[in-house]
Amino acid sequence: MKFVHFWKVGHPWLNLAAIFPLLWLLGAAGTAPAQIQVQRTPLQLSPTDVFPTGNEWISLPDIRAVDGALTTFNVLSMHHRGLMQVQGDAGAPVLQPYFTADGKPLEFRNPSWELIEYWIPTGRLTVDGLEATVTWCAPPGSRAAFLRMTLKNHRATSVDVTLGAKAAFGSLERVTYVPVKLHGERTVAMAPWVDPAEVFSFVTSDTDFAWALLHPGSKAVITMPPNTSVPAVDASRTVTLAPGESAESLFVLGAGIEEFSAAHYVRALRELLARDGADAVIDQAAAWLKARTRTTGRPDLDMLMNRNFLFTELYAWGRTIDTEQLVGVTSRSPRYYVSAAYWDRDAMLWSFPGLLDIDPPMARDALDYALTTQLRDTGTHSRFIDGIVLEDGFQLDEAVAPIHALAEYVSRTGDAAFLVSHQSALETLRNRLMGRFDPATGLYSSLQDPQDEFQVLPFITSDNVLTWRALLDMADLFKRLNQPDEAARMVERAAQLHDTIMAHCAVLGAPGADGPIFASATDGKKAVFTEMPPGSLMKLPTLGFVSQDDPVFVRTYQWLHSSGYKYSYSDEPFGLPGSYRLPFTTSWSVADHLLLKAGHDRALKILLTSQWDGGIITEGVDSATARMDQAGRAFATAAGYVAHTICASSCTDRPR
């Protein structure tokens, strides 16, 4: 295919800003792109849908299905303890692609979309004999992303076409849970030392943040208030296409802590594109993505599983632009209602198993972050990305989460050096856990339950089963550390706790149950019978505490799925047990049932019937319709948990 390329290479020598992306290229594909069979999968979307892409540095969380426009983008900032989100003007996109033909707008509306290796979106639409495409790609390792636009002339005559993009800097928001608009001066000017590009600045006493748009081969018109409501750029290029000829334009987007860094991040990616071409850069990104996918042998299940594997790696984890540190968050998408904060349970029990399935080195780095930056307040409800407490309150499941992750990592990888280097962290976690032991009952207490709510009864069954598992995990870890006495002590404590849970938490009294079932919580005397989906009783067999055929578990399963339980939703086509806090079928319940003989088929039906959030896992779905829960969209840590359980139950390939 013949392309008219809209760029010129300015300098043939290598600059320092290009080194990191070049190292990524060498790591992902060698000195020459390897020939791989790229997976392209149609993406079924409605016109009102948005979908994400991005890499460890930059998130593009809400690309519009209707026209390929980028609504917002964000980066992580340690200084601001969350996301720095760039908005367009008054709800309009921050970057709007457009086409014209013979001076008239060429409407790019409701294109068909496909994903390259489950992550790189391409929209395609043919209008009046002109085939238009829009592709968004954030190559791994690059501190920037690019928009690729193409037009091919299928007409019998030549046509003058324009490929352009309009950028606007409407506001800058800090996001931790909710967006908070930052106050400062927003400006736009020619980018320093980089051409053709513009840089948008956010200035308080000094430049606090900047982002740049580079557009090789295109000319830009800059507008500023009072002529326009916000700083804006319109970059475009017009060319004449003969019949059968194609044109391509590239727009490179990146953000930094000030103007020079932002401009040179986009320059480095532009140089990669100039040297290798957009096709090769996309193929190299696809190779990186492909290395992190698994297969069940079913295309529909692979699509759901792999999109969410990648979403948990690239949206539950990322690097801050000001310290370059890897950090973990609930989600880098502002569409999730408690985005951009760290929770031990979410990171280590939900996202981490998915990382370990597809990218063990990344899992190692994530675990290191949990055992260093976040260690001081492990077990506290939630924290900012620098480890400072956000929401106070002790949660037992959060306290044991890093222990589970460490044990699973060492078991899967045999990385003894990592264990030795984090021995003191393990001892800290052990001591904190021992501080929750109640000698009167033999159980371990929590202030808040797995639903993040205050629990009057301090001993939560699922949390104590997690603690039982953590004690056995620590026994194995201390044995590997050549501490046999401590390992034996952990085994003894685990055995005692198992007996205590069965004595205090498997009790009579559930309305309509024909024998003892597992209560959700107790104080050692009275108990409450309910489900807590993020810490479901359905996990007990998976954790190895009881078998699926254990009489107490069977009765518990039957009761939670019966009309005797108010939130069972057993009479709904897509119903699984919920709770007062989560009155719908949750993604955790779907995942946990997928691993049970009795629940697998129903869970699989729900997984494949729901559209979720354009294929990205949400907090749950309506039990009657399988439509997604609106508040819990773009849930990156839960995405890892669901993807992991899909793979655990159905993958036909071997783990990485």
Q: How many helices (H) and strands (E) does the chain have?
A: 16, 34
What six digits make up the tokens of 305? 């599983």
Across the chain, what does the average pLDDT equal?
94
**Spatial CA neighbour of 224 closest among 183, 170, 184, 187:** 187
Indicate if the pLDDT at residue 370 is higher than 90. yes
271 and 305 assigned to the same domain:
no
Per-residue pLDDT, 259: 98
Q: Per the domain annotation, does 193 fall within a domain?
A: yes
In a domain, 229, yes or no: yes
Is residue 9 over pLDDT 50? no
Determine how many CB atoms are found less than 10 A away from the CB of residue 175: 23
Alpha helices in 448-483 (DSSP H): 461-480
Q: Residue 309 corresponds to which tokens in the numbers above?
A: 């594997």
Q: Give the pLDDT mean for 130-141.
A: 98
* pLDDT over 60 (residue 12): no
Look-up of token digits 């209707």: 66
Domain end among 290, 314, 334: 290
Q: How far is CA 139 from CA 7, 56, 210, 315, 638, in A?
A: 19, 9, 20, 15, 24
Q: Quick one: 272 and 351 in the same domain?
A: no
Distance between CA atoms of residues 639 and 589, nearest Å:
13
Instruction: Please report, as a single letter, which amino acid is at residue 108.
Output: F
DSSP state string for 128-193: TTEEEEEEEE--TT-SEEEEEEEEEE-SSS-EEEEEEEEEE--EEEEEEBEEEE--SEEEEEEPTT
The residue ranges of DSSP E strands in 515-652, in sequence order, are 517-518, 521-522, 527-528, 585-586, 620-621
CATH number at residue 511: 1.50.10.10
Is 656 part of any domain? no
Residues 586-606: pLDDT tens digits? 999 999 999 999 999 999 999
The pLDDT score that the predictor gives to residue 631 is 83
Which of the pair, 630 or 181, is modelled with greater confidence? 181
- Say what the pLDDT of residue 30 is: 39
pLDDT value of residue 656: 64
Q: What phi, psi does 197 have (nearest 5°)?
A: -160, 155
Co-location of 365 and 263 in the same domain: no
Mean pLDDT to the nearest integer, 469-475:
98
Taking only Cα atoms into account, the Rg of the chain, rounded to an integer number of angstroms, comes to 26
pLDDT score at 100: 98
Compute the CA torsion angle 15, 16, 21, 27 (nearest 10 deg).
Answer: 100
Band (pLDDT 50/70/90 cuts) for residue 655 is confident
Residue 321 shares a structural domain with residue 222: no
**273, 308: one domain:** no
Residue 655 lies in a domain: no
Do 400 and 486 belong together in one domain? yes
Residue 22 confidence (pLDDT) above 50: no
Within this chain, do residues 118 and 49 fall inside the same structural domain, yes or no?
A: yes
Residues 280 and 344 in one domain: no
Give the pair of three-digit tokens for residue 198.
């513009």
Which pLDDT does position 18 carry in this prediction? 37
Least confident of 7-11, 65-69, 278-282, 620-624: 7-11
245 and 317 inside one domain: no
Q: What is the pLDDT of residue 15?
A: 36
Assign 328 to helix, strand or coil: strand
State both tokens at 322.
């000001």
Specify the number of domains making up the chain.
2
pLDDT bin (cut points 50, 70, 90) of residue 35 is low
Residue that terminates a domain, selected from 290, 308, 332: 290
Are residue 452 and residue 409 in the same domain, yes or no? Answer: yes
Q: Provide the pLDDT confidence category of residue 14 given band limits of 50, 70 and 90.
A: very low
Judgement on whether residues 273 and 315 belong to the same structural domain of the protein: no
Same domain, yes or no: 316 and 272: no
Q: Is the pLDDT at 2 greater than 80, yes or no?
A: no
> Which CATH number belongs to the domain containing residue 86 in this structure?
2.70.98
Residue range 518-574, pLDDT digits in tens: 999 999 999 999 999 999 999 999 999 999 999 999 999 999 999 999 999 999 999
Distance between CA atoms of 653 and 655, rounded to whole angstroms? 7
Phi, psi (5° rounding) for residue 409? -60, -50
Within 10 Å of residue 410's Cβ, how many Cβ atoms?
Answer: 19
User: Which two structure tokens, joined as six digits, stand for 92?
Assistant: 């309009």
The pLDDT of residue 634 is above 60: yes
Q: Which domain holds residue 153?
A: 3-290
Please say if the pLDDT value at position 11 is more than 60: no
Q: Which residue, 227, 257, 290, sits at the end of a domain?
A: 290
pTM of the model: 0.94
Instruction: For residue range 486-529, list pLDDT tens digits in order.
Output: 999 999 999 999 999 999 999 999 999 999 999 999 999 999 99
Quick one: average pLDDT of 330-350? 97
Q: How do residues 386-407 score in pLDDT, each as one tens digit?
A: 999 999 999 999 999 999 999 9
